[in-house]
C-alpha cells in the first residue's frame, strides 16, 4: 500500500510536459496498437462503447456508481459495459471495445496504486465459448502485447528503467480456494467466500512471481452475471488474471449466466431490484447465446509495462478517489 500524495495529485496535470510522461504515453499507445492488432487479426470486431444507460454493472465491490439526470430519468455512467456485451457477442460473435468507465471508488483505494475513478478497460466478449477459451484469449492477448512492447519500445523502457520478463503461455492457474490456502500459509488469512482484499492480492502477485490466473470464485464473491458451474454448485466459472512482481490484478472475466430464470434468481440473491433491469431481462427472455469474456484495464497494463509506482502515472489527467484534480 502507498500513501497517495494528495497535493502532488492535485497538480498532476502539469506533468503532461515532463519527458517521462511522453515515454509512458508512447508505451501506452504502442500497447493499444498491439491489442487492436491481435484482436483484429483473431476475428474480433471493434465496436463503439456505450457510455450511459438505465443500469450499469453493480458488481464493483465497494465503489459507487455515478448518476446523471437523463431527461428526468436517472441514468448511470458505465461502471462497466458488461450488460451490453452479452447481446453484442450474440449478434456479432466476437467483439471488443475500449470502454471508458467511472467508479467512485472508496477513499482507501487511493492507497493501492491500482485504482482510478476514471479508467479505460478493454472489454472483450465471445459467443459459444466457455471460460477456459476466454482465458486462452486473455493469456495470448497479454503475452503478445507484453512481448511486442518489450521489443518495439525497448529504448523507451530502458529510459524508464524497466526490463520486462518474457511472457510465455499457458499461464499457471490456481483456484480461489488454493489462493486462500497459499495466503494462509504466508500468514495472511482471508475470507474464503469473498474476493481477495487489495493488500493480499498484491502479496499473492509477489509470491507467485509469474502471470497467473485465479479461477473458480465462490458464488456471492462476484457479480450476478458470472456463471455458476452446474456440476459444482456454489462455484463460478470465472477468473482473474494477475500480473507478477506485485502489480496485482490485470483482468477479470467469466463465462456468463444467460438463462432468464437463473439470472433473475442471482439478481434477487445479490440484492438488486430486477425491475431496473427490464431491457436486459427482456433480452434474456427472448434468448441469447452463451458467451464468455473479460475486461483488462489499460492504465494498469501501462503501469505494469512501464514499471510505475501507481496507476495515476499512466494518465494525463488522473482522477484518484477523494482528490479534486482537473
3-state helix, strand, coil in the chain (%, to 5): 40, 20, 40
Least distance CB 125 / ligand AMP (angstroms): 13
Work out what residue 115 binds among Mg ion, ligand AMP, none; the CB cut-off runs from 5 to 8 Å by kind.
Answer: ligand AMP
Q: Which three cell numbers stand for residue 217?
A: 470464485
Q: Name residue 168's beta-bridge partners.
A: none
Query: Among residues 190 and 311, whose Cβ is nearest to ligand AMP?
Result: 311
Query: Among residues 9 and 253, whose Cβ is nearest to Mg ion?
Result: 253
Q: Binder to Mg ion among 252, 291, 292, 302 (CB under 5 A)?
A: 252
Place of cell 462455484: 235
**Does 311 interact with ligand AMP (rule: CB under 6 A)?**
yes
CB 315 within 8 A of CB 15: no
Query: Among residues 97 and 119, whose Cβ is nearest to ligand AMP?
Result: 119
Going by their DSSP bridges, the two strands 212-215 and 172-175 should be labelled as: parallel
Site string for Mg ion, 206-245 (x = CB under 5 A): ----------------------------------------
What does the alpha-carbon distance between residue 93 and residue 110 come to, in Å, rounded to a whole number? 37
Work out what residue 296 binds among ligand AMP, Mg ion, none; the CB cut-off runs from 5 to 8 Å by kind.
Answer: ligand AMP
- Of residues 204 through 263, those in contact with ligand AMP by CB under 6 A are 249-252
Find the part of the chain contacting ligand AMP (CB under 6 A) among 36-44, 83-91, 155-163, 291-299.
Answer: 291-299
What does the alpha-carbon distance between residue 104 and residue 76 come to, in Å, rounded to a whole number? 12
Helices marked H in 61-167: 82-92, 131-152, 154-159
**Does 291 interact with Mg ion (rule: CB under 5 A)?**
no
Q: Binder to ligand AMP among 27, 116, 204, 215 (CB under 6 A)?
A: 116
Q: Name residue 76's beta-bridge partners.
A: 53, 67
Query: Among residues 64 and 285, whose Cβ is nearest to ligand AMP?
Result: 64
Query: Among residues 221 and 283, whose Cβ is nearest to Mg ion?
Result: 221
CB 302 within 8 A of CB 27: yes
Least distance CB 321 / ligand AMP (angstroms): 8
- Residue 33: CB partners within 8 Å, gap ≥ 6? none
Work out what residue 105 binds among ligand AMP, Mg ion, none; the CB cut-off runs from 5 to 8 Å by kind.
Answer: ligand AMP
**First CA to last CA across the chain, in angstroms?**
25
**Does 104 interact with ligand AMP (rule: CB under 6 A)?**
no
H-run or E-run covering 28:
helix 19-41
CB 225 within 8 A of CB 83: yes
Site of interaction with Mg ion (CB under 5 A): 252
Site of interaction with ligand AMP (CB under 6 A): 60, 80, 103, 105, 115-116, 119, 121, 249-252, 295-297, 299-300, 311
Amino acid at each position: 500500500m502507498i500513501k497517495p500524495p494528495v497535493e502532488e495529485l492535485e497538480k498532476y496535470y502539469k506533468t503532461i510536459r515532463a519527458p517521462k510522461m511522453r515515454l509512458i504515453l508512447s508505451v501506452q499507445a504502442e500497447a493499444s496498437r498491439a491489442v487492436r492488432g491481435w484482436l483484429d487479426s483473431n476475428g474480433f470486431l471493434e465496436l463503439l462503447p456505450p457510455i450511459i444507460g438505465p443500469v450499469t454493472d453493480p458488481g464493483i465491490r465497494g465503489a459507487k456508481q455515478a448518476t446523471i439526470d437523463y431527461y428526468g430519468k436517472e441514468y448511470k455512467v458505465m461502471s462497466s459495459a458488461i450488460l451490453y456485451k452479452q447481446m453484442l457477442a450474440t449478434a456479432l460473435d466476437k467483439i471488443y471495445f475500449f470502454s471508458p468507465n467511472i467508479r467512485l471508488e472508496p477513499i482507501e483505494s487511493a492507497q493501492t496504486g491500482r485504482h482510478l475513478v476514471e479508467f479505460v478497460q478493454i472489454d472483450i466478449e465471445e459467443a459459444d465459448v466457455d471460460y477456459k477459451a476466454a482465458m486462452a484469449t486473455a493469456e495470448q492477448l497479454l503475452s503478445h502485447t507484453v512481448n511486442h512492447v518489450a521489443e518495439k519500445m525497448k529504448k523507451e523502457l530502458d529510459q524508464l528503467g524497466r526490463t520486462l520478463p518474457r511472457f510465455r503461455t499457458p499461464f499457471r492457474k490456481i483456484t480461489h480456494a488454493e489462493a486462500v490456502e497459499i495466503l494462509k500459509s504466508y500468514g495472511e488469512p482471508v475470507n474464503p467466500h469473498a474476493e481477495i482484499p487489495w493488500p493480499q492480492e498484491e502479496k499473492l502477485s509477489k509470491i507467485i512471481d509469474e502471470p497467473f490466473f485465479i479461477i473458480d470464485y465462490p458464488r456471492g464473491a462476484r457479480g450476478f452475471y458470472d456463471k455458476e458451474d452446474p456440476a459444482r454448485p456454489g462455484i463460478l466459472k470465472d477468473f482473474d488474471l494477475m500480473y507478477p512482481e506485485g502489480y496485482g490484478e490485470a483482468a477479470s472475466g467469466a463465462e456468463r449466466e444467460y438463462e432468464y430464470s437463473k439470472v433473475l434468481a442471482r439478481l434477487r440473491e445479490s440484492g438488486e431490484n430486477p425491475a431496473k433491469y427490464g431491457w436486459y431481462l427482456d433480452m434474456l427472455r427472448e434468448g441469447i447465446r452463451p458467451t464468455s469474456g473479460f475486461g483488462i484495464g489499460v492504465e494498469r497494463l501501462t503501469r505494469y509495462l512501464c514499471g510505475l509506482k501507481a496507476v495515476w502515472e499512466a494518465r494525463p489527467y488522473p482522477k484518484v478517489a477523494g482528490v479534486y484534480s482537473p
